[in-house]
Amino acid sequence: MEQRFQVIWAKSAVNDLEEIIDYIAQDSPLIARKLFTQIKEKVEALTFFPHRGRHIPELQRQGILIYRELIIPPWRVMYRVTENKVNILTIIDSRKNVEDILLEKLIKVK
């Protein structure tokens, strides 16, 4: 029997998704709905294949291998696999500098 992983969305990731969808919906509600469905389906697939995403290159270069990402152009869904859980941490725009975005998010947390 296949092991199932529980997908857990961090509040920050939910906020990211809502902001992305709201922004796109201003111009095209249809495209926003399609993107929402696409992201949700790909994330839910992590239930059975949690390691399918690649290591985040910017973090991998620093020796940090505990984070992974799914690419849903132009979005990067970043997550961490722990025991039987997949924690969705954030969704960012791949056209922007990852280090700057992560630093900005860390500052907001404080």
CATH number at residue 15: 3.30.2310.20
74 cis-preceded (ω within 30 degrees of 0): yes
Q: Tell me if 94 is assigned to some domain.
A: yes
The domain containing residue 10 runs over which residues?
6-109
pTM: 0.89
Q: Tell me if 1 is assigned to some domain.
A: no
As for how many domains the chain has, the answer is 1
Query: Between the CA of residue 1 and those of 34, 41, 47, 83, 86, what are the distances in Å?
Result: 32, 22, 14, 17, 19
Per residue of the chain (110 residues), give pLDDT as tens: 578 999 999 999 999 999 999 999 999 999 999 999 999 999 999 999 999 999 999 889 889 999 999 999 999 999 999 999 999 999 999 998 887 887 777 666 55
The Cα–Cα gap between 91 and 74 comes to 10
Q: Tell me if 25 is assigned to some domain.
A: yes
Q: Kind of pairing, strands 85-93 and 54-55?
A: unpaired
